[in-house]
Chain A
Amino acid sequence: MTMVPARPSLLTPPVLWGLASLAAIALSLAAAGLFQQELFNPGGLPQLGRFFRASLQPDLSREMLQLTVQASLVTLAYAVCGTFLSLLLGLLGGVVMSEVWWQAVLPQRRQLQPPPIWFGLRAFLAVPRAIHEVIWGLFFLNLWGLDPLTAILAIALPYGAIVAKVFSEILDETPRQPLQALLNSGAPPFSAFCYSLLPQAFLNLLSYSFYRFECAIRSAAVLGIIGAGGLGYQMLLSLQSLRYEQLWTFFYAMFVLNGLVDFSSAWLRRRWGCASRLDLNASAAPTTRTIASNTPSFAVYQPLNQGLALLLVGLIAFCFWYIQPDFSKLWAPRTGQLLTDLLHACWPPDWSQGWQLVKLSADTVAMSVLAIALSATVGLLLAFPAAHNFFLPGGLLNPTAGKNASLLPQILFLLSRAILLMGRAIPAPIWALVVLFVLFPGILPGAIALALHNLGILGRLMAEVIENLDQRPLLALQTTGAPASLVFLYGVLPLTMPRFLSYSLYRWEVCMRETVIVGLVGAGGLGRLLTEQLSSFDYQGLMATLTCFLVLTFGVDWVSASARRSLR
């Protein structure tokens, strides 16, 4: 007689989270007014048709191409300078925010919790992180006008806070024994850090820095929308003047720029053997970071790496020279004056619109939920054909394709990659304006615009998860004679799903922050109110809206973090 343990309850935490998210999606759909009100505007269809037809005949005149190159350089330069500054901030912040630093500096407290200043720092850095680059941009616009400084700092400040958080986590996860050995032999903490933790974590830090740069390119384009110049600005101008042929020229420039950045970053990461750039489940699955033995590993003194480093320094110098930000404005007396004026105008916050704020907050959350649900679903569907080890001949589900293999997988591969690239290359506000051709303003167009942009990012992250999948369990399933569909069900799906979900939850946090930028162009939610308050100089009302926004952002971050913990 065999003993059969009692079947555990079906309502495990992941299942409960799943049910909760289905409920959230249903509620959000209701909030978007599905089946209740007129959403679709057929009058905009001809416009949309013209827009898509223009993709086949972009404006390639000489002046136009010159303008495109200039605008692309501006966007690139914003991204490079912004990332550079944010990495400086982030490295500093990351070290002082890491637990291990305080343990090194205050060894007598090693057994205790880190000092109060550590908690203070963490809480303080959460604020710049919670506010989207565009809001920072609008704020700096008031101080410095349309100086490139505005755009660079709008990227550097929130990114610096994010980088600091991630760097501190990477440092805390790095093995500490070498550091301890140095400290025990009497080395001062800073030198000990430079000789142990920093070189140990270097690859992970570098890999994340490249990911930040990929994001910065997209942020730099979005900042154009508020007038900072570059490709985003040119796109907005063309769209507003209904010159779709020009618009598509800028779109294609953005594809090329994004494609180049993504490709070179992926190439470098592969070359140095860091497979995953954004490891949200790092502590759950440490094996994914191991370097495959056949990849050339990283060595600082290799000539190619030295060349690349030189190239990078040159690029950064060129970018600062090209846009010439006026750093003297940072300490100009006028800045201080404007800042005090602005703070006075903001205080106290005006809560007179209380009820409307609550309703708009609910709308904003609904928009973010719909956006992530849509982009996760479509991103997932596109990720499989976009992964090079899946449907392609020799891939997981197509192991025996011989000479008579069809071209379909290759076509699907290129097509899905192109869709993903197009999704992420075009800034969400531009998508929103396009969607608003055929949908009435509200939650839905905002959600769709955010989804279109985010599915490009999410799909790519997911494809990378699939490509880095451990093949051995799948091979074992294949040799039991299981058909491809069941290898997928019992191997691929369970192995990838936790990562897919945790990326989706992470992107949900980003979507929440981004609702503000589709609101800017009229898609609804708190962002729209924010725009109205900005244009009517209602700074006290603005303060109240921003506070709501901060509360929502922290709330969403908290929910997402708890869900991710339970999914490990």
Chain B
Amino acid sequence: MIRRAGIGYQRPGLQPLFELRQVTQQFGGLNALSQIDLKIFPGECVALIGSSGAGKSTLLQLLNGTLRPTSGEVWVLGHNLGNLSSRRLRQVQRQIGTIYQQLHLVNNLRVIHNVNAGHLGRWPFFKALLSLLLPLEVETAAKALTQVGIPEKLYDRTDCLSGGQQQRVALARVLVQDPVAILADEPISSLDPELSREVMDLLRTLCQQAGRTLVVSLHDVAFAHSHCDRIIGLRQGQMVFDAPSFQVSLEMLADLYRLTAPL
């Protein structure tokens, strides 16, 4: 059992941004995650790898409060998510930006509204309503779109954009949300290698610039090595290893992608 869990990452005096304590998540009778202990500290760039169904998406959904664990505790920014009212939960969620695997954008809205959706955690109802009719805070949106490289698409309809451009819109939304942490659920799984590199570079830069924490699930191990400083390997809901990127060896990876765990 290779588990160098987190020991090297315990920095005294620093509070973890995300913490899972003995978390188990079941769907029906199936254990999607079992008995996970995990700490992620501010400024870290963490990759989650493992085959499909290993529990990567589930873990991210626990971190952003979409799922409540079957047992165990999820702590984010010093709050136990299980004890929060839905109002307080939303206040914590505002601090976490999520980018999804399939593009979770509202297709028939213009790009500007999808980007402005990043404000929704802060905006009062009437401001949001008005902005749908007459776009507000256009400068901020345009700046975010410039950062991701598609400033000219501001007023285009989202479904007229290519897959790579839509992924950039999702990034711009997260920038407008301005969170302290970004969770990305296979952000490059539907992109070609060239675009994948660009999007990963962007994610990395956007986090480094503002000292944001990044947790990204990936299928491509090479990108985990090149863009992240810590890699967590998941297999069938179990954490197989948790180590700095440079320590993750080919044997560890071969072991991770084995079909069944040895007894």
Find the B residue at minimum CB distance from A472. Answer: B104
A475 touches B143 (CB 8 A): no
A2 touches B104 (CB 8 A): no
A394 close to chain B: CB less than 8 A = no
B151 close to chain A: CB less than 8 A = yes
B210 close to chain A: CB less than 8 A = no
B192 close to chain A: CB less than 8 A = no
Range, interface on chain B: 35 or more
A491 touches B106 (CB 8 A): yes
B93 touches A480 (CB 8 A): yes
A498 close to chain B: CB less than 8 A = yes
B78 close to chain A: CB less than 8 A = no
CB distance from B263 to the nearest CB of A (A): 31
B154 touches A4 (CB 8 A): yes
Chain A residues with CB under 8 Å of B173's CB are 480
| A475-B66, A481-B94 known; A494 vs B121 contact (CB < 8 Å) | no
| A479-B64, A490-B106, A494-B109 known; A2 vs B90 contact (CB < 8 Å) | no
A399 to B61 Cα, complex, angstroms: 15
A45 close to chain B: CB less than 8 A = no
The 8 A CB mask of B99-142 against A (1 = contact, 0 = none) is: 01010111111000100011011010100110010110011001
| A475-B66, A482-B120 known; A489 vs B151 contact (CB < 8 Å) | no
Chain B residues with CB under 8 Å of A399's CB are 86
Chain B residues with CB under 8 Å of A481's CB are 90-95, 120-121
The 8 A CB mask of A476-507 against B (1 = contact, 0 = none) is: 11111111011101110011001000000000
| A481-B91, A489-B129 known; A475 vs B123 contact (CB < 8 Å) | no
A478 to B104 Cα, complex, angstroms: 11
A473 touches B113 (CB 8 A): no
CB distance from B94 to the nearest CB of A (A): 4
| A5-B155, A479-B65, A495-B108 known; A490 vs B139 contact (CB < 8 Å) | no
A475 to B57 Cα, complex, angstroms: 14
Cross-chain contact of B138 among A7, A10, A483, A489 (Cβ < 8 A): A7
Cross-chain contact of A479 among B66, B125, B132, B170 (Cβ < 8 A): B66
A120 close to chain B: CB less than 8 A = no
A486 touches B93 (CB 8 A): no
How many contacts between A and B, using CB within 8 angstroms? 103
A433 to B207 Cα, complex, angstroms: 68
B132 touches A489 (CB 8 A): yes
Chain B residues with CB under 8 Å of A10's CB are 134
**8 Å CB interface, A511-559 against B:** none
Cross-chain contact of A490 among B66, B113, B138, B170 (Cβ < 8 A): B113
Range, interface on chain A: 20 to 34
A480 to B90 Cα, complex, angstroms: 8
B118 touches A480 (CB 8 A): yes
A3 touches B113 (CB 8 A): no
A477 to B90 Cα, complex, angstroms: 11
A477 to B142 Cα, complex, angstroms: 20
Chain B residues with CB under 8 Å of A472's CB are 100, 102, 104
A43 close to chain B: CB less than 8 A = no
B117 touches A490 (CB 8 A): yes
A399 to B103 Cα, complex, angstroms: 22
A491 to B98 Cα, complex, angstroms: 16
A418 to B64 Cα, complex, angstroms: 39
A490 to B92 Cα, complex, angstroms: 20
Chain B residues with CB under 8 Å of A479's CB are 64-66, 93, 96, 98
Chain A residues with CB under 8 Å of B125's CB are 485-486, 489
A314 close to chain B: CB less than 8 A = no
A8 close to chain B: CB less than 8 A = yes
A178 to B39 Cα, complex, angstroms: 54
Most buried by B among A3, A473, A475: A473
A490 touches B155 (CB 8 A): no
A400 close to chain B: CB less than 8 A = yes
CB distance from B121 to the nearest CB of A (A): 3
Find the B residue at minimum CB distance from A6. Answer: B155
CB distance from A254 to the nearest CB of B (A): 38
CB distance from B191 to the nearest CB of A (A): 18
| A473-B105, A480-B121, A481-B92 known; A2 vs B132 contact (CB < 8 Å) | no
CB distance from B198 to the nearest CB of A (A): 20
| A476-B104, A495-B108 known; A5 vs B151 contact (CB < 8 Å) | yes
Chain B residues with CB under 8 Å of A3's CB are 142, 146, 151-152
CB distance from B104 to the nearest CB of A (A): 3
A480 touches B106 (CB 8 A): no
CB distance from A293 to the nearest CB of B (A): 14
Most buried by B among A400, A479, A490, A498: A479
B105 touches A490 (CB 8 A): no
A399 to B66 Cα, complex, angstroms: 10
A482 touches B121 (CB 8 A): yes
**8 Å CB interface, B34-79 against A:** 64-66
Cross-chain contact of B106 among A4, A7, A473, A478 (Cβ < 8 A): A473
B97 close to chain A: CB less than 8 A = yes
A487 to B173 Cα, complex, angstroms: 15
Chain B residues with CB under 8 Å of A490's CB are 106, 109, 113, 117, 120, 128, 132
Find the B residue at minimum CB distance from A400. Answer: B86
A485 to B124 Cα, complex, angstroms: 10
B142 touches A4 (CB 8 A): yes
Cross-chain contact of A486 among B92, B120, B142 (Cβ < 8 A): B120
B177 close to chain A: CB less than 8 A = yes
A491 to B118 Cα, complex, angstroms: 12
A344 to B79 Cα, complex, angstroms: 86
A5 to B150 Cα, complex, angstroms: 11
Find the A residue at minimum CB distance from B155. Answer: A8
A482 touches B100 (CB 8 A): no
A481 to B121 Cα, complex, angstroms: 5
Chain B residues with CB under 8 Å of A480's CB are 93-94, 97-98, 117-118, 120-121, 173, 177
**8 Å CB interface, A351-402 against B:** 399-400
Chain A residues with CB under 8 Å of B90's CB are 481-483
A498 to B143 Cα, complex, angstroms: 30
Find the A residue at minimum CB distance from B138. Answer: A4
Chain A residues with CB under 8 Å of B105's CB are 473, 476
CB distance from A225 to the nearest CB of B (A): 41
CB distance from A527 to the nearest CB of B (A): 38
CB distance from A400 to the nearest CB of B (A): 5
**8 Å CB interface, A456-484 against B:** 472-473, 475-483
Most buried by A among B94, B120, B125, B155: B120
Query: 4 nearest interchain CB pairs?
Result: A481-B121, A476-B104, A482-B120, A481-B94
Q: Which residues of B contact A (CB under 8 A)?
A: 64-66, 86, 89-98, 100, 102, 104-109, 113, 117-118, 120-121, 123, 125, 128-129, 132, 134-135, 138-139, 142-143, 146, 151-152, 154-155, 170, 173, 177
Q: Which residues of A contact B (CB under 8 A)?
A: 2-5, 7-8, 10, 399-400, 472-473, 475-483, 485-487, 489-491, 494-495, 498
19 A–B pairs (Cβ distance < 8 Å), ordered by A: A4-B139, A4-B151, A5-B142, A5-B152, A5-B155, A400-B89, A476-B98, A476-B100, A477-B117, A478-B93, A479-B64, A480-B94, A480-B120, A481-B90, A481-B92, A481-B95, A482-B121, A494-B109, A495-B106
